[in-house]
Amino acid sequence: MYDIIIAGGGPAGLTSAIYGARGGLNVLVLERSFAGGQMAISHTVENYPGFENDVPGALLANNMHVQATRLGAEFKNELVKEFDIDGDVKKLHTRNEVYEARTVVLAMGATPRKLGIAGEEDFIGAGVSYCATCDGAFFKGANVAVIGGGNTALEDALFLARYCEKVYLVHRRDTFRAQHALVKLAEENDKIEFVLDSTGTVIQGKFTVDTLVVENLKTKEKQDLKVTGVFVAVGQQPTTELVRGKVDLDDKGYIIAGEDCKTNVPGVFCAGDIRTKEVRQIVTAAADGAVASYGCELYLL
């Protein structure tokens, strides 16, 4: 029996583990892949406090993981299949085990949202990508497109411009949601071309991507962008399917919880991108993790 089981090993889960273990609690982190989540695949992190220079996301993730382990948190590479969290004893079912705890922190994060256009599914891994920092180096000297208008889309375009000959930035509006500083950098980069008021309609190719068809939403005019890569950056989808009906969710699927990170279920907290909030960044996920573990500690008193 654990004091806390944390589902998810991103920055929220790792920070929750650090605070829980340092508080003397028996902590288990269940993570299906690798520590760090999306942070670990970020090429560089510029805005995490305490680093004068950019820090690779993988390094930041590893440091958090090492710190949590040193403090006594236990980690297992397990995919949770079922959450049984309404009783005093919470049970998390994996393929081969049932783990029990008195409190749970839900920190499963979010996954990239898909476009839902023709050809997208066909070319995943053959030109369609949801992670520019993971796959950008494969497109050295190529023409690519980034679809989206938020911070991630602008960051992806700027990152890809290091490798690629041309980067088309396709956005359905004529203004961006992204930070002004990122937009300005993209405007000043002669490798980046804005394709505004437009949306991708079809991804084409034989064995790999060779064309993205875009349509101008105002004029209805279509054009073929000759690209070998399409990078999708249109937001995230919270990983909450397994807790739907077990904790309260909002209309977008995020867990309803305030700054105390408490869900509607006693002893169950949530942290990071999975929670209803205005800002989803590494630093806010880490803050949630600390708050969630503190909430667990109070609950266990």
pLDDT higher than 80, residue 5:
yes
Q: Backbone dihedral region of 36: left (phi > 0), alpha (psi from -120 to 50 degrees) or beta?
A: left
Q: pLDDT at position 41, please?
A: 78
Q: pLDDT at position 243, please?
A: 97
Catalytic residues: 131, 134-135
What does the alpha-carbon distance between residue 118 and residue 7 come to, in Å, rounded to a whole number?
34
Q: pLDDT at position 118, please?
A: 97
The one-letter amino acid at 67: Q
Q: Are 299 and 267 in contact (CB under 8 A)?
A: yes
Greatest alpha-carbon pair distance for the chain in Å reads 64
**Average pLDDT, integer, range 149-173:** 96
SS3 280: coil
**Average pLDDT, integer, range 197-218:** 97
The per-residue pLDDT for range 58-70, each reduced to its tens digit, is: 999 999 999 999 9
pLDDT higher than 80, residue 121:
yes
| Residues whose CB is less than 8 angstroms from the CB of residue 160 and which lie 6 or more positions away in sequence, other chains included | 132, 136, 139, 144, 146, 167, 231
Q: Are 211 and 229 in contact (CB under 8 A)?
A: no
The per-residue pLDDT for range 232-278, each reduced to its tens digit, is: 999 889 999 999 999 999 999 999 999 999 999 999 999 999 999 98
Buried/exposed code over 248-267 (b: 16+ C-beta within 10 A; e: otherwise): ebeeebbbebeeebbbebeb
Which of 119-123, 221-225, 277-281 is predicted least confidently? 277-281
Q: pLDDT at position 42, please?
A: 76
Give the pLDDT band of residue 54 (cuts 50, 70, 90): confident
**Average pLDDT, integer, range 25-29:** 98
Buried/exposed code over 44-55 (b: 16+ C-beta within 10 A; e: otherwise): ebeebeeeeeeb
Give the pLDDT band of residue 286 (cuts 50, 70, 90): very high
| 82 bridge partner residues | 93
pLDDT higher than 80, residue 125:
yes
Give the pLDDT band of residue 20 (cuts 50, 70, 90): very high
pLDDT higher than 80, residue 44:
no
Q: pLDDT at position 47, please?
A: 84
**Average pLDDT, integer, range 103-117:** 94
| 275 bridge partner residues | 255
What does the alpha-carbon distance between residue 191 and residue 140 come to, in Å, rounded to a whole number?
13
CA angle 239, 74, 89 (to 5 degrees): 65
CA distances from 258 to 48, 254, 290, 297 (A): 23, 12, 14, 17
What does the alpha-carbon distance between residue 219 and residue 225 come to, in Å, rounded to a whole number?
17
pLDDT higher than 80, residue 43:
no
* Chain mean pLDDT for the chain: 95
Give backbone dihedrals phi and psi of 219, rounded to 5 degrees, phi first.
-95, -15
Tell which residue, 146, 134, 147, 148, has the closest CA to residue 33: 134
pLDDT higher than 80, residue 132:
yes
Q: pLDDT at position 45, please?
A: 82
pLDDT higher than 90, residue 111:
no
SS3 13: helix
What does the alpha-carbon distance between residue 116 and residue 114 come to, in Å, rounded to a whole number?
6
Q: pLDDT at position 3, please?
A: 98
SS3 247: strand
**Average pLDDT, integer, range 270-294:** 95
Rg of the Cα atoms in the chain = 21
Helix (H) or strand (E) holding 63: helix 57-70
Tokens of 137: 């180096």
**Average pLDDT, integer, range 32-43:** 85
